[in-house]
Amino acid sequence: MYGSGSLTRDQFNALIAHGNYPKLADYLHGEHPGTKFIAAGQKNYAVYSSNGPTGDISVTFSSRNFDCDGDGTNNWRGPTGFNVPAYISSPTCGRFYVDSATSLSYGTATTPPAWMYPLDGNRFAVGFDPAHRGGDVWTAEAGMAMMEHEPWSGMLLTLGSIDKASHMWGGITDDGVYPPGSPEEQAHLRFIARTADEQVGRLIAKLRDLGQLDETLVVLTTDHAGQPATHFNGVNQAGRGDFNWYYGATQNGTFLAPSPSLQPLLDTGNVRFTYQDSAIRTWLTDTSDAAKRSAAQAMATLPDVIATYRLDGRRYRLVTADRRAMTRDERSWWARHGREIVNTMAAPYAADVVGLLRDNTSYGVAGDHGGAQRPVQEIPIVFYGADVGSRDSRRPLRTVDILPTVLREMGMRARAGLDGHAVTLPHGHGH
């Protein structure tokens, strides 16, 4: 077993190549030979999984390999990835190198609940050094440099700071106001959301200045939504994030300090690995149907669990449901979408047992993702570009609908077998 967040680029490429499915880069290369597909962002797994083996340029942060301030300690991150352009990587300690000292945490390392998943320098924070700005500014400026220099046909820019802040503080519960220009301000959601919004504006302005906007389709979306853990079942201590999320030994990480809340499940003696955020997903050693039922029954006794499922081939079957523990809204949403959402995970290698949780509940950190709750599942999906009208499509989309919709809008034919469906966008005059 592997923790996917710690996979290398080569490992992601092997998975993607084994799946033998076309990426957006493949479609664009076929339609526009000689052009490049580019991905950039602070989180390397977001960059590597999006770009795949046929992507042309990947730019993300390295480990702390550089001493750019001369203090004798390698605590700066620089650009790394695949085919990183020289104007990004050179000179060493130039603009795209940022201070990432773990001691530079903007107070998050010693303040609950952020201390479970604190900032580590300017990987997600912008910082105060105008020559080495980090966070979403780093990603946007790397993207703009490549827009200017490369013959690109597709680009993914992943702005990771708002995810970090929402995990640390709980998202909508992080509503404080802090002195402008203070370290505290940089660590909180108001500043980070405003900064992300500014970067989107800068990217649009750059496309316009380069004369590329009228031939570009911009898609603004996110990998997940989230909710605050007003019911928290992890351990609220410094550095607990990974140990709250994971229990078990994998090929690229060992996590054997579980939250006490998990103990009834662990007492079955049959847990190979378990991952829990705003849902619980558990892989078993004994995967017989009887063992799955037994584990699901044990999981049902954990705090805030409302329903459990066992894997049966390529679908999940309900084992327990505590409808009395659900509010009316929770019960309505679960009845309409619970099984549908759980079944998106179903595969021979998927978790053997899954537990769904009440709203506003987490086992991981202060704000979390991963569950079937309505606040976690509803995300923004915005298409912007020439001839795309401003009217809301007024129909639900899923993330898997984005690729076929992009292909249709750009006049490309999707290959058979895509999970999603193309949606006809409302068209109008101008942007």
Contacts of 208 (CB under 8 A, 6+ apart): none
Phi, psi at 284, each rounded to 5°: -110, 160
pLDDT at 430 (0 to 100): 46
- Looking at residue 38, the DSSP 8-state letter turns out to be E
Q: Per-residue pLDDT for the chain (431 aa), expressed as one digit of tens each? A: 999 989 999 999 999 999 888 999 999 999 999 999 999 999 999 999 988 899 999 999 999 999 999 999 999 999 999 999 999 999 999 999 999 999 999 999 999 999 999 999 999 999 999 999 999 999 999 999 999 999 999 999 999 999 999 999 999 999 989 999 999 999 999 999 999 999 999 999 999 999 999 999 999 999 899 999 999 999 999 999 999 999 999 999 999 999 999 999 999 999 999 999 999 999 999 999 999 999 999 999 999 999 999 999 999 999 999 999 999 999 999 999 999 999 999 999 999 999 999 999 999 999 999 999 999 999 989 999 878 888 777 778 899 999 999 999 999 999 888 889 998 888 865 44
| Residue 65 identity (one-letter amino acid) | N
| Residue 227 identity (one-letter amino acid) | Q
Which tokens in the block code for residue 16? 């993607």
pLDDT at 386 (0 to 100): 76
- Looking at residue 81, the DSSP 8-state letter turns out to be E
pLDDT at 268 (0 to 100): 98
Give the integer Cα–Cα distance in Å for 309 and 429: 49
pLDDT at 69 (0 to 100): 96
DSSP-assigned letters across all residues of 84-137: --HHHH-STTSTT-EE--TT--TTTTSSTTGGGS---STTTS--S-TTS--HHH
Which residue is associated with the tokens 């690109």?
152
pLDDT at 424 (0 to 100): 85
Instruction: Judge whether 10 and 53 are in contact, CB under 8 Å.
Output: no
